[in-house]
Amino acid sequence: MPRLAPIDFENLTPEQTTVADAIRNGPRGGLRGPFEAWLRSPGFADPAQRVGAYCRYGSSIPSDLNEMAILMTGKYWKAQFEFWAHARLALQAGLDPAIVEAVRTGAEPPFKREMERVVFDFVSEYLATHRVSDTNYRRAVETFGENGVVDIIGVVGYYGLVSMTLNVFEVELPPGETNPLE
């Protein structure tokens, strides 16, 4: 049961309306996931959703690898809605279904491209130790450049925020969907 009642979109404050319209009229096209919770604090919601739009749609990291980093973050936080939503998006972006399943179950992914391994190793190490070794840092910079490393960190950080929001407010999956994470 979600902790927040559905927001009354007919009675939003002017600030809430501005943010809700920016989200609905942006690349997302709707208010799903953390956005109803965030609308309770429009001053927070607006910059957060703009960072998220960059992380999801403007990142210099290829979209399939960006989605893998998002899945890894959702798995780390055990965010059911996050993993459910982005598993579909990862597949649409071309991520191998076997990699999605391996991330979901904690198995070793069957990588076919070195850049997949670079993102996986970088994000895995960071989530496990809250640091990145010189080796994984250098590999990431050589593969994606400094801009790409910043984008990877941004994606992991932003989707950590999203995952925490979804978990704290107990945002449920749509009816009929099954939690993907054990």
111-153 pLDDT, tens digit each:
999 999 999 999 999 999 999 999 999 999 999 999 999 999 9
pLDDT in tens, 51-95: 999 999 999 999 999 999 999 999 999 999 999 999 999 999 999
Question: Are residues 133 and 125 in contact, defined by beta-carbon separation less than 8 angstroms?
Answer: yes
Q: Record the pTM.
A: 0.95
Q: What is the DSSP letter of 93?
A: T
Which among 49, 73, 78, 72 has a CA at the least distance from the CA of 170?
A: 78
> Looking at the predicted structure, is the pLDDT value of residue 1 above 90?
no
Q: How far apart are CA 128 and CA 174, in angstroms?
A: 30
